[in-house]
Structure 1
Amino acid sequence: MSAPDINGLLMAHPYGAVILVVLFLVVMAFLNLRRREKASTRRHRRYRATAGRVLDKLTRLPGDGQRLSYLRKVSPYVFEELLLSAFERQGLTVVRNASYSGDGGLDGQVIIDGEHWLIQAKRYSRAVSPAHVEDFDRLLLQSGRRGLFIHTGRTGKMSRTIRTASPRLRIISGQRLLAILAGQDVRQYL
C-alpha cells in the first residue's frame, strides 16, 4: 500500500485513524514501561551480587574496625541488599522494595516468626541522626509494625532515648550488626 492509498483510507475512516494513533501510543507506553522494568531488575540483580561479594569479603577482613570501615564505604543500595541477603542466609523471608529511592524510609521487610519487621538501613560514618530514628519510629507507628533501624555509625544518647521510649523500634549497629552479617540469628537482638 502506498502513502496516497493510506491517506485516502484514513480520510475515508477518521475513527480508524484515531484508533491507530491510540493503539500506537499504547504500544509505545508498554514498550517504555518494559524497558524501565528491565533496567530496575538489572540494577537490583547487580546490587544483590555485589552484596554477596561484600558479605564474603567481610569474613576475610582481620578485625571489626576494618569491617565497619569497609561497610561505611559501600553504596547505600548495596548496604540495603547486604542486610536483606544476610537475613535470607539465616533462612528468613525477605520482602524487597520495587525501587531503592522514594521508598518513604522503608528499605525492605523481614519476616521473623510470622511477624513483618520493617527495615531502615543507614550508612553513617558518625553518630546516627535522631531525626532519622524519629521518622522511622513514626513510620512504624503509622504502619502498626515493629522495625529494625540498622546502621554503621554510632548510636548517640538522643537516639538511644528514642529507642528506649519506643516498644516498636530496635536499633542494630556495631558488634550486633557485624554478628548478624556473620550469620548470627537476629532474634537475639529483638
Structure 2
Amino acid sequence: MVLSVNQLIIIFILALILVCLLLLGSKKSRYLPKNIRHQRRITKGEAVLERINKIIAEHHESLPAVLGYLRKIDPLVFEELLLSSFQRQGYKIKRNQRYTGDGGIDGHVWLHGQMYLVQAKRYKDSIKAEHLKEFAQVIAKHQARGGFFIHTGTTLAKAKSVLQQHPEIKLLSGQRLVDFLRCL
C-alpha cells in the first residue's frame, strides 16, 4: 500500500498533535520534564497561598477552614506553599531538586545568615514523637542552626515533650501556621 504525500502529511500532523496533547494537555504531568513539574508545584503553591488568604478574609474563625483546606491539598504542593511563604517574607530559601529521597528535609531557609531545615507534614491526625526525634537527628547531621517542623495535625503531650528536649525545632501548627501563611 502506497500512501500519497497528502496522506503522509495528515498522519504526521495527527502524530504531532498527539505528542503535544500528551506533553502539554494531559492532567497527568508524569510526561513532563522534572523541572516543569517542579515549577508547576511552585505555581500551585502560590495559588494555594492566595486561596488561603481568601479563606482568612472570608471567615471570622479561619483556623478550621484553613486547616481543612490544607489537609486536602497535594503534600508536595504543601511543601512548596511553605517555602513560598518563607520567601514572601523575605527569607532566602533553597528548594530540593527532588521530592522523594530527600532525607527528611523538605527545604532550607536562612534566617539572619543561619541555615534552618524545613520538614512539612500534611496530616489529619496527630504527629508522632518519633517524627520529631528523627528531625532532630537530621538537623544535627546537617549542622543546621535549627529546623521548622510544620504540620496540619495535632500535637499531643508526647510530641510536646520531645519539643522541650529539642529547642532547635520550631513548631508551626494550628493558629501559628495560619498566621505564618497570612500575606501581609
**What is the TM-score with the length of structure 2 in the denominator?**
0.77
1:138 aligns with: 137
Instruction: Measure the CA separation in 2 of the matches of 1:95 and 1:136.
Output: 18
Cα displacement (A) at 1:144: 2.0
Q: Which amino acid aligns with 1:163?
A: L
Calculate the aligned-residue CA RMSD, in Å: 1.4
CA distance in 2, matches of 1:50, 1:142: 31
- Give the equivalent residue in structure 1 for 2:18: none
Answer 1 or 2: which has greater helix percent: 1
What does residue 27 of structure 1 align with?
A: none
**C-alpha separation in 1, matches of 2:95 and 2:42:** 11
Count of aligned pairs between the two proteins: 148
How far does residue 143 in structure 1 lie from its aligned partner after superposition? 1.9
Q: CA deviation at 1:167?
A: 2.6
Aligned to 1:162: 162
Deviation at 1:183, TM superposition (A): 3.5
After TM superposition, list the pairs within 5 Å mapping 1:1-190 onto structure 2. 39-61=33-55, 62=59, 63-145=62-144, 146-183=146-183
| Unmatched runs of 5 consecutive residues or more in structure 1 | 1-35, 185-190
1:107-166 Cα deviation digits (max 9, x unpaired): 000111100100000001011111111111111122221101000010111111111111
Q: Deviations over 1:72-96 (max 9, x none)?
A: 0111100000000001100111101
3-state SS of paired residue (1:150): strand
* CA-CA distance at 1:60 after TM superposition: 1.6
Q: Which runs of 5+ in 2 are unaligned?
A: 1-29
Deviation at 1:64, TM superposition (A): 1.6
Distance 2:70 2:167 in 1: 28
Q: Work out the CA distance in 1 between the residues paired with 2:115 and 2:52.
A: 27
Runs of 4+ aligned residues of structure 1 deviating over 3 Å after TM superposition are none
- TM-superposition CA deviations, 1:39-82 (whole Å, max 9, x none): 11011111011111111111121222111000001111000000
Q: Tell me if structure 1 keeps the 8 A contact 2:42–2:84.
A: yes
C-alpha separation in 2, matches of 1:40 and 1:48: 12
Q: Which has the larger radius of gyration?
A: 1
In structure 2, what is the Cα distance between the partners aligned to 1:97 and 1:59?
26
Write the letter of the residue equivalent to 2:122. R
Identity level (%)? 39
For residues 33 and 130 of structure 2, the distance between their equivalents in structure 1, rounded to whole angstroms, comes to 33
